[in-house]
Amino acid sequence: MGDLLVKYFIGLDVGGTNIRGGAVSAEGKILYKSKMATNVSRGRQEVADNILALTHSIVSYIKTPPSAIGIGVAGLIRGEEGIIAESPNFPDWIEYDLKTPLEKALKLKVVVENDANAAAIGEGWLGAGAGEKNFCLLTLGTGIGGGVFLGGKIWRGVDGMAGELGHINIHPEGRRCGCGNRGCLEQYASAQGIIKSYQGRRPVKGEFSAKEIFNLAAKGNGEAIDILRGVGSSLGIAITDLVNILNVRLFIIGGGVAGAWDYFIEPLKGEIAERAYKVTGDNVRINKAILGDDAGMMGAARLAMGN
């Protein structure tokens, strides 16, 4: 780097644990990337300061300012204004304007987007959805993030709340969900959901992670395998609903739980075969996300570029 003429965009993915940032060229090449702790517990000013510090460190590495900055963050984002109405990761971000102070401090255009939408834009640009005009992304992490990409654009909905695919109902009388509903997909097919399914069968003491359930499955533990197959069934039910509503053919699945792919893919496809109209169900493709932890950052950078 160090070339004074380098034109690039910064993409930032602000998660509950880390802020990931990258300098991305207009062609989608990552020129540099870095991350730092979010430090949510120290309040929103600290998080905003960390976003600024990470941005400065990227700029000082590249040695020339970016053309614009895109930020992906969990929560309900009011479109153009970039106001964060509320966020599950940041309890004190209510009607919070992250964008204006950053634009003033950096003298650059800043675009704010929901993190799952940013990930879908990233996968649609250079990942598993490259060249596709219509697809849904499901990111199976601690919770479930969703993005609906239609006609080559992310579908945000009237209030910016579209694509909450983790809250598709799977069991009307099922587990309580933070959204107010019960039996949402997220309660069964996220890392938290997998842990709840395991605890429902066998009480566990202390810390227990979804990874430990994956390890048990890998050792042939029938209960663990059954739970991961259940993830597939739940996903298949939700995806069938999406196929019926949207008639989309491509579904991209990412996030840490996608590591259990070999266990859940067969029951997932089985549910679609059993439940969907044949003509639409037969055309469904389920692909693994390929950008991994970079998806949100890449999508945020792509958004910063504009059209």
**Site for Zn ion, rule CB under 5 A:** 167, 177, 179, 181, 184
Please say which residue, 171 or 288, places its beta carbon nearer to Zn ion.
171
Least spacing, CB of residue 177 vs Zn ion, in Å = 3
* Rounded distance between C-alpha atoms, residue 177 and residue 204, angstroms: 21
Least spacing, CB of residue 233 vs Zn ion, in Å = 18
Handedness of CA 167, 169, 171, 174 (dihedral sign): positive
Please say which residue, 66 or 141, places its beta carbon nearer to Zn ion.
141
Q: Are 115 and 72 in contact (CB under 8 A)?
A: yes
Q: Which residues contact 97 (CB under 8 A, 6 or more apart)?
A: 81, 82, 83, 84
Taking the CA atoms of residue 116, residue 93, residue 12 and residue 38 in that order, the dihedral angle to the nearest 10 degrees is -110
Please say which residue, 55 or 114, places its beta carbon nearer to Zn ion.
114
Q: Phi/psi of residue 38, each to 5°?
A: -75, -35
* Rounded distance between C-alpha atoms, residue 287 and residue 285, angstroms: 6
Please say which residue, 84 or 144, places its beta carbon nearer to Zn ion.
144
Least spacing, CB of residue 150 vs Zn ion, in Å = 22
Least spacing, CB of residue 88 vs Zn ion, in Å = 11
* Rounded distance between C-alpha atoms, residue 49 and residue 58, angstroms: 14
Least spacing, CB of residue 232 vs Zn ion, in Å = 19
Tokens describing residue 209: 């992670």
Tokens describing residue 253: 């699945």
In degrees, rounded to 5, the angle at the alpha carbon of residue 272 between the alpha carbons of residues 271 and 276 is: 125
Please say which residue, 68 or 116, places its beta carbon nearer to Zn ion.
116
Least spacing, CB of residue 258 vs Zn ion, in Å = 20
In residues, how long is the chain? 307
Least spacing, CB of residue 24 vs Zn ion, in Å = 33
Q: Are 271 and 232 in contact (CB under 8 A)?
A: yes
- Single-letter code of the amino acid located at 200: G
**How many CB atoms are closer than 10 A to CB 7?**
10
Please say which residue, 50 or 187, places its beta carbon nearer to Zn ion.
187
Please say which residue, 59 or 148, places its beta carbon nearer to Zn ion.
148
